[in-house]
Chains A and B, each alone.
Chain A
Amino acid sequence: MSEQPIDREAMFDLVAAYALGVLPAAEAAPVAAFILADADAREEYNALRATANLVGTIAEEPVDSARSARMKERLMAHVRSDATAGARTRRPAPSSTVRSSAVWGTALAAAAAVVFALVSVIQNFTLSSELAEAQRKATVLQAEASAARQSAESAQRMLADVSSPDAQRFSVAYGTVIRRGSHVYLALTSLPPVARGHVYEAWTLAKGAKTVAPSVTFTPSGNGLTLVPLPEDADHLAAVALTVELEGGSKVPTTKPAFVQPLS
C-alpha cells in the first residue's frame, strides 16, 4: 500500500497523459523522473504508450491517385538517387528546396526591391506616439516570448537530463538524486509536507571543501513528485544534502539531514 495513495494515483494519471502525449513540457520532466524512479510507473507507462501509439492506426485515408503518384515519384526519385550514390542520407533535404541559382537571383532581386520600397515609405512618416507605443508593446511581447522560450527550453533540458540513460541515479531518502554531466537534480517522490514557516533546503559540498554551502529552498510540489534542479555545477561538487530549515533558508544546516549523498 502506498504511503500517499491520492498523490500516487494523481501521478499515475499524469503517466497516462504523458503516454498519450498530451502533457505540457513543464509537467513532463517530473513525470519522466517518476517513471524512471518507480518500477510500477515504468510498467504502466510502457503499457499505455504501446496502446496510445495504436490510436493513430485508425487514421488511414485513401489518397487520390494523382496525389499518390506525385508523392511517390518525388520520394522515390530522392531514394533512388541516394541509393545510387551509395551514401546514407543523414539529413535529407526536401526536393522542393532545390532551386536553380537563376530563380534565387530573381527572388533576391525582387525581395531587395520590396525592402527598398518599404524603407522609402517608412521614411515618409513621422514617428507617431502610436507607433512608439506599438514598439514598446512589441518589445514587451518579445521579452515575454523570450522568457517563455527559455522556460520551455529549460523544461526540455531537464526532461532530457532526467530521462537520459547515461544519467547517474543515486537512491536517497524520499527519492533519487540524478546527475547528468554538470547538472544535478533532486527527484523526490514521497517528500512529507513541512510545518508552516519551514522549507526544505538543499546543500552542496564542493570538492575539497570542509563545510556545506546553501543551495536552493523549496516546498513539496503537492502532486507527489518534486523535481528540483540545483544551480551548482555538478563537476565541482562532492556531495549534496537536504534538511528542513526556517522559511528563507539558513546559512548553515540547523537540523539533521534527510540524506547526504556523495556524487561519485
Chain B
Amino acid sequence: MERVRTRDVDAFEQLYDGYHRLVFGIALRMTSDATMAEDITQSVFLKLWSAPDAFRDGNFSAWISRVTRNRVLDLLRSRANKPAGEIPADLPAELSLDDDVFARIDAERVRLALAALSEEQRTLIELGFFAGVTHEEIARRTGIPLGTIKTRIRTGLRRMRESLVEAVSQ
C-alpha cells in the first residue's frame, strides 16, 4: 500500500491481482449478480486508487471487505431508490489494538473461528455481514426473536474474537 500511495501503477496492479477475487466474491455473495459484482469490484479498486490514504493500518483484507460491503449497500440502496442511511455508515475509524493484532489473520483462520461458533451464532453473523440487512430484517427472515438475535450476534462476535486472539498468540 505504501507504493500505491506514491502512484505506483505496478504496485496497484499487484494489489488488484491479490485482492480482486475477495472483492468480487463479497460483491457476488451480496448481490448474486456477476455483472453487478464486476462493476462493484471496478468501483472499489478505483476508489482505492483515488484515495489510498483511506486505508491506514491493520488487516487490509478486513478493511477492503468492509469497504466492499459498504459499496454494495450504497449501490443496492440507490437501485431500490431507498432512503440513504437504512444502515448507517460506521463511526470514524479509530484504530484499535485488535486491528493491529488481527493484521496477520488470514481467511483460513477466520473460517476456523467461525466454524468454532454454534451454528446459530455463525448463521446470524454471516447473514448480518453478507445479506446487508438490518437485525429486524434478519429476525423477520429467520423467525428468531430480535432480542435473541442481538444477544447471539454479540456473544458470537466475542467468541470469534477470543478464538482469533488465541490463534494469534499461538
Rounded to whole Å, the gap between the CB of B99 and the closest CB of chain A is 5
Interface string of B145-167 (1 = CB under 8 A from A): 00100110110011011001000
Closest to A28 in B: B88
A13 to B147, CA, bound (A): 9
Q: Which residues of A contact B68 (CB under 8 A)?
A: 56
Q: Which residues of B contact A61 (CB under 8 A)?
A: 21, 24-25, 28-29
Q: Which residues of A contact B144 (CB under 8 A)?
A: none
Rounded to whole Å, the gap between the CB of B69 and the closest CB of chain A is 6
Known contacts: A22-B138, A47-B161. The answer to whether A155 contacts B150 by CB under 8 A is no
Q: Which of A89-97, A128-136, A171-179 is near enough to bind chain B?
A: A89-97
Once the chains bind, are B157 and A159 in contact (CB under 8 Å)?
A: no
Q: Which of A76-84, A108-116, A197-205, A243-251 is near enough to bind chain B?
A: A76-84
| Interface core residue of A16, A72, A148, A155 (most chain B CB under 10 Å) | A16
CB within 8 A of A54: which of B42, B46, B59? Answer: B59
Q: Give how many A residues have a beta carbon under 8 Å from the other chain's beta carbons.
A: 73
Once the chains bind, are B114 and A58 in contact (CB under 8 Å)?
A: yes
CB within 8 A of B129: which of A56, A79, A91? Answer: A56
Q: In this assembly, does A74 line the interface, its C-beta being within 8 Å of a C-beta of chain B?
A: yes
Once the chains bind, are A153 and B84 in contact (CB under 8 Å)?
A: yes
CB within 8 A of A51: which of B28, B29, B147, B160? Answer: B160
A152 to B13, CA, bound (A): 39
Q: Which residues of A contact B (CB under 8 A)?
A: 10, 12-17, 19-25, 28-29, 32, 35-36, 42-43, 45-63, 67-68, 70-72, 74-76, 78-80, 82-83, 88-92, 94-96, 145, 148-149, 151-153, 155-156, 159, 163-165
